[in-house]
């Protein structure tokens, strides 16, 4: 799991409105709308429920410690969506106690290994990797006006890629898997084949084969250049939860409004919506 830096996080709050509008232009859905689409829930019902739902974000000093602005940015995203949210004044155990004592409905927190949200009433736990894979698959589905029977290549077969591939299969996409570590692709294919009663999942042997046939792409690798520039023009669209971004700035310009990437926003929106299910 790639650890964000303050450089990744600090620009987010001031660009939220602009990003929300860009998502609308590309998918006809807002940040909240994409998250609701991911879980198949009615946005009006979520908007109603979130008014009475308080989420406390607890900074965690364990391991490599606090990322400056991380908790504050998660909180800003939650409030932008319409939730009541605040960062606890104390980190760690103290922060968790304060959240309970202040009758929070949910907490969100991250150490170096997991970023989770917990509904304190239902005890539902949502993991950022699962939610991020799901919501970026949902965004790609909207970008593509539906992915049924369309070739969709998942680059990166880790936790985010697994969650995305599972949800792309549910959308009826023709899923191909690629990972530089072929064993990761093979084990994911086996796992999904068992879950979906032998769907046709292709394992691609190299990046050129993976990106042939004008696919849609879900880029979920921690590499900063998983797709060479010369292969970009053949892509129909891309959703890229991978951190750092797996394509060059020039490639991002070529893809323009057929390309969705962020480092926190869609994942946090999906985690928050999942707390209300
Ligand atoms: O500020 C804090 O509370 C830190 N303990 C937060 C550490 C987050 C580490 N994880 C990441 O940077 C990202 C997550 C946002 C999702 C995957 N990696």
User: Which string of DSSP letters, residue by residue, matches 139-152?
Assistant: HHHHHTT--TT-EE
Length of the chain as a residue count: 277
Shortest-distance atom of ligand 1 to CA 65: 5
Residue whose CA is closest, atom 6 of ligand 1? 110
Q: Which residues of the chain have pLDDT under 50?
A: none
Question: What are the tokens at 12?
Answer: 């987010």
Ligand 1, residues at Cβ distance < 6 Å: 1-4, 59-60, 66-67, 70-71, 110-112, 115, 128, 264
CA distance 243 to 223: 7
Ligand 1 center to residue 3 CA distance, Å?
Answer: 6
The number of the ligand 1 atom at minimal distance from the alpha carbon of 132 is 16
Helix (H, G, I), strand (E, B) or coil at 5: coil
User: ∠127-131-135 over CA atoms, to 5°?
Assistant: 170
67 alpha carbon – ligand 1 mean position (Å): 7
Count the Cβ atoms, other than its own, within 10 Å of residue 125: 13
Ligand 1 midpoint to CA 59 (Å): 10
What is the rounded CA–CA span in Å between residue 11 and residue 96?
27
CA distance 209 to 163: 22
What is the C-alpha separation between 267 and 274, in angstroms, rounded? 11
> What pLDDT shows up at residue 198?
73
Q: Residue 238: helix, strand or coil by DSSP?
A: strand
Q: Please report which helix (H) or strand (E) contains residue 26, including its range.
A: helix 12-27
* Per-residue tokens: 72: 């504050």
Instruction: Please give the pLDDT value at position 224.
Output: 85
Per-residue pLDDT, 225: 85
Beta bridge partners of 216: 152, 237
**Cα 1 to middle of ligand 1, angstroms:** 9
């Amino acid at each position: 799991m790639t650890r964000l830096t303050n450089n990744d996080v600090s620009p987010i709050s001031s660009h939220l409105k602009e990003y929300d509008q860009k998502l609308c232009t590309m998918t006809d859905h807002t940040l909240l709308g994409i998250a609701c689409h991911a879980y198949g829930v009615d946005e009006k019902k979520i908007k109603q429920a979130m008014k009475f739902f308080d989420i406390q974000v607890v900074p965690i000093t364990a391991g490599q410690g606090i990322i400056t602005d991380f908790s504050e940015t998660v909180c800003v995203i939650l409030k932008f969506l319409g939730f009541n949210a605040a960062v606890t004044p104390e980190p760690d155990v103290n922060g968790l106690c304060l959240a309970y004592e202040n009758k929070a409905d949910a907490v969100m927190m991250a150490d170096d290994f997991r970023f989770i949200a917990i509904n304190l009433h239902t005890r539902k736990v949502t993991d950022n990797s699962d939610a991020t894979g799901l919501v970026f698959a949902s965004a790609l589905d909207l970008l593509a006006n539906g992915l049924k029977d369309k070739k969709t290549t998942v680059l990166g077969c880790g936790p985010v890629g697994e969650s995305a591939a599972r949800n792309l299969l549910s959308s009826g996409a023709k899923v191909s898997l690629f990972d530089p570590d072929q064993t990761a692709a093979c084990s994911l294919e086996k796992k999904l084949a068992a879950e979906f009663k032998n769907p046709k999942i292709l394992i691609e042997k190299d990046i050129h084969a993976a990106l042939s046939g004008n696919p849609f792409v879900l880029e979920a690798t921690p590499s900063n250049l998983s797709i060479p520039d010369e292969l970009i023009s053949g892509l129909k669209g891309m959703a890229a939860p991978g951190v750092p971004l797996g394509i060059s700035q020039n490639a991002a310009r070529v893809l323009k409004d057929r390309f969705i990437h962020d480092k926190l926003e869609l994942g946090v929106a999906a985690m928050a919506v999942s707390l209300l299910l």
